Amino acid sequence: MSGIDSKGHSMKRVGGEETRQAGSLSVDSWLVAAGRDRQAGAPLNVPMMPASNFVLGTRRVYARNEGVPGWEALEEVLGGLEGGEAVSFASGMAAIAAIFDQIPANALVALPADCYQGVLSLAEAGRSRRGWRIERIAVTDTIGWVRACDVADLIWLESPSNPLLEVADLDTICAAPRKAGAILGVDNTFATPLNQRPLELGADVSVHSATKFIGGHSDLLCGVVIARDASLCADLRRTRVLAGATPGALEAFLATRGVRTLALRLERAQRSAEELAERLDRHAGVSCVRYPGLRSHPTHAAARRQLKGYGTVISFDVKGVATDADGVCRRLKLIQHATSLGAVESTIERRALHHGQEHLPETLLRLSVGIEAVEDLWMDLEQALRAG
């Protein structure tokens, strides 16, 4: 039993003096106020505009190229959140693929050992088609990452990682000298823009699967890259046009609506996650709880230093064998047995069932805590663990 090293509900700090947006609004206000048309008579929200083409004579010609108005609203909100320019995509993978598309043939690509499977597959395609060399580095191997910065063409970090929730020492790694022309990217999906701002630490790009926390309701696919370098943003936009990796009008609309409540959703879900992580840690049917806020977590110190909050995802091992863990998933009533994370509803799954995740403990469950009442979530977990 190790206990949560509480941040005293960090959203106060995020919204407080330390993080200011363009126009000097706090993050919480920026989420609500940005990306709106304030002219008299304008609708408060940029309306969804399903359109492929426009009457010629204006800036907009064809939606795959210049987009629909909803993109701009979403990009304004997300860019301002992390202090860069946002380029939105059809999914998180489309966003990541656009970055990987900038990497030349025969490049050296550094990836985390605990890496999102889609990204690993993308890099492996680069190995067979473009002669990339791939180096896998443990999330916690700061010296290995610093060394990679010196020689690699793409340095790709995911922090906190999936599903072990290890936090990389981004302060050190992002500040390390990089090979000329290299791109250092951070997949910021698990942290959210409210808990971590990689561009401020020195990353070139920050990426989100907006399918997760930004959308927040399990009803869309969307992705975003945020960068400071204008020519890199132009290259990413060009790739988006050529690949046709554009977000749909409905998705951009829903993602913008979803992100308005991100601060509230995260505050609630994060508070519940801290509570549930502590209780799971004391539960006799659970053998190991991985949550960056627990003092026992291997990268708790980095999490404490770097993240404004510890997030809403908890990974824990059920005592017994795989079928015991499957039984827990089956018996849960409120918590949905489903993949993905970052939504209003809590979801849980056994990660070793996924292709490429066979190295994980077979009883590891990844729980994404939603915004339901914490006591209801705990009752559900208790009954599912007890019946085992």
Ligand X SMILES: *Cc1c(COP(=O)(O)O)cnc(C)c1O
Residues at the contact surface with ligand X, assessed by CB under 6 A: 91-93, 116, 118, 158, 162, 187, 189-190, 209, 211-212, 221, 223
Written as six digits, the tokens of 166 are: 């290890």
Instruction: Tell me whether residue 80 or residue 223 sits nearer to ligand X (CB atom).
Output: 223
Complete DSSP assignment for 161-212 = -TTT-----HHHHHHS---TT-EEEEE-TTTHHHH--HHHHT-SEEEEETTT
Instruction: Tell me whether residue 96 or residue 332 sits nearer to ligand X (CB atom).
Output: 96
Q: Is 64 a catalytic residue?
A: yes
Instruction: Tell me whether residue 91 or residue 299 sits nearer to ligand X (CB atom).
Output: 91
Residue 68: Cβ within 10 Å count:
23
Written as six digits, the tokens of 215 are: 């959308």
Instruction: Tell me whether residue 69 or residue 92 sits nearer to ligand X (CB atom).
Output: 92
Q: Which of 7, 28, 114, 116 is catalytic?
A: 116
Instruction: From 188, 151, 136, select the one nearest 167 (Cα to Cα).
Output: 188
Instruction: Tell me whether residue 205 or residue 286 sits nearer to ligand X (CB atom).
Output: 205
Q: Is 212 a catalytic residue?
A: yes
CB of 25 to ligand X, least distance (A): 28
Query: Cis omega (within 30 of 0) on the bond before 47?
Result: no
Instruction: Tell me whether residue 119 or residue 385 sits nearer to ligand X (CB atom).
Output: 119
Q: Is 150 a catalytic residue?
A: no
CB of 188 to ligand X, least distance (A): 9
CB of 73 to ligand X, least distance (A): 19
Cα 2 to chain center, whole Å? 26
Instruction: From 117, 95, 104, select the one nearest 186 (Cα to Cα).
Output: 95
Q: Which of 7, 197, 212, 271 is catalytic?
A: 212
Angle in degrees, CA 138, 143, 145, rounded to 5: 55
Q: Which residue(s) pair with 209 in the sheet?
A: 223
Q: Which of 169, 187, 281, 317 is catalytic?
A: 187
Instruction: Tell me whether residue 302 or residue 385 sits nearer to ligand X (CB atom).
Output: 302
Q: Is 219 a catalytic residue?
A: no
Question: In the complex, which residue's CB is closest to ligand X?
Answer: 92
Q: Which of 13, 36, 60, 64 is catalytic?
A: 64
Angstrom distance (rounded) from CA 313 to CA 50: 35
Angstrom distance (rounded) from CA 297 to CA 364: 15
Task: Give Dmax (Cα) for the chain.
Answer: 69
CB of 201 to ligand X, least distance (A): 18
Cα 214 to chain center, whole Å? 9
Polymer length of the chain: 388
Angstrom distance (rounded) from CA 248 to CA 91: 10
Angstrom distance (rounded) from CA 306 to CA 388: 38
Known catalytic residues? 64, 116, 187, 212
